[in-house]
Amino acid sequence: MKRLNDKAAYMYARMQSSLCDVTVNSRFVAYLIDWFVGTIFIFIIPIYMYSILTGSTNMQEAMVFLNYPGNNGFIACGIAFLMALIYYVIIPWKVWKGQTLGKRAFGFKVVRNNGKDVTLWTLIKRQLVGIALIEGNLIVLTSLYRQGLFLFSGYDAPKLLIYAWVGISVISCLLVVFVGNGKMLHDYIGGTYVMMDPNRKINNRKDERI
């Protein structure tokens, strides 16, 4: 009986993953929220640290770790990367299953292709590899990759790679617009899709009854 239930749940999830009940507009606005809030969350400690070390309150300068005196750039970069992990991986893994703040605000979530909640490994593939490393232009975490690489090795990403990131990001955005399942490139990499949160739907129905 359990096997039949699991199979039915899997088939339902596969059917749902072939369609997308989240609008492109909602997903885009949620992305903007996450970009704005995520950037503040990631850099708030380094910016404060920079102001103490230099007496400057210039936020743009504080977001470039080469500007930090001594070896403090390494520390600031490490703190920023830790904050990025918390926002883009730990929160949707442990706090709000499959949701960052933007997704939660619009009532949708990321799930695995089988319809089950995302795991740590799923989020590493989706967020850290798919979005930040391969697409390369959609979240500020890519900047941390580049700055960390330069701090430790003196090597910066060539312009050709930056142009490639732009092209891949554009292709990923076109996928979500023109392919019916609503998947972006990082969804294929992570084995995920985006769906409306069933709990949100249930709560909305209860509110309507009241």
Tell me if 40 is assigned to some domain. no
Tell me if 13 is assigned to some domain. yes
Provide, rounded to the nearest whole percent, the portion of the chain with pLDDT above 90: 45
CA distances from 100 to 94, 103, 112, 206 (A): 11, 5, 16, 24
**pLDDT confidence of residue 204:** 47
**pLDDT confidence of residue 112:** 94
Q: Work out the average pLDDT over 45-52.
A: 94
**pLDDT confidence of residue 102:** 93
Q: Which residue has the higher pLDDT, 39 or 149?
A: 39
Tell me if 56 is assigned to some domain. no
Tell me if 72 is assigned to some domain. no
Tell me if 203 is assigned to some domain. yes
Tell me if 182 is assigned to some domain. yes
Three-class secondary structure of residue 138 per DSSP: coil
Query: pLDDT digits over 54-88, tens only?
Result: 999 898 899 999 899 989 999 999 999 999 999 99
Query: pLDDT digits over 147-187, tens only?
Result: 888 888 877 766 777 788 888 888 888 888 887 778 889 99
Look at the chain and report how many structural domains it folds into.
Answer: 1
Does the pLDDT value for residue 143 go beyond 60?
yes
E-assigned strand segments in the chain: 108-112, 192-196
Amino acid in position 102: G
Q: How far apart are CA 181 and CA 13, in angstroms?
A: 12
Output phi, psi for 36, to 5 deg. Answer: -70, -55
Apex CA 13: angle with CA 12 and CA 19, to 5°? 95
Average pLDDT, the chain: 83
Q: Which residue has the higher pLDDT, 153 or 119?
A: 119
Residue 103's pLDDT band, with cuts at 50, 70 and 90, is: very high
Q: How far apart are CA 133 and CA 138, in angstroms?
A: 10
**pLDDT confidence of residue 3:** 55
Q: Which residue has the higher pLDDT, 10 or 36?
A: 36
Tell me if 37 is assigned to some domain. no
Residue 199's pLDDT band, with cuts at 50, 70 and 90, is: confident
Q: What range defines the domain where residue 197 resides?
A: 2-22+86-209
Q: Work out the average pLDDT over 195-208.
A: 62
- The answer to whether residues 136 and 168 touch, using CB atoms and an 8 Å cutoff, is yes
Tell me if 169 is assigned to some domain. yes
Q: Work out the average pLDDT over 109-134.
A: 92
Q: Which residues 6+ apart lie within 8 Å of 11 measured at CB?
A: none
Per-residue H/E/C for 35-85: HHHHHHHHHHHHHHHHHHHHCCCCHHHHCCHHHCCCCHHHHHHHHHHHHHH
Instruction: Tell me the chain's radius of gyration from C-alpha atoms.
Output: 19
**pLDDT confidence of residue 99:** 95
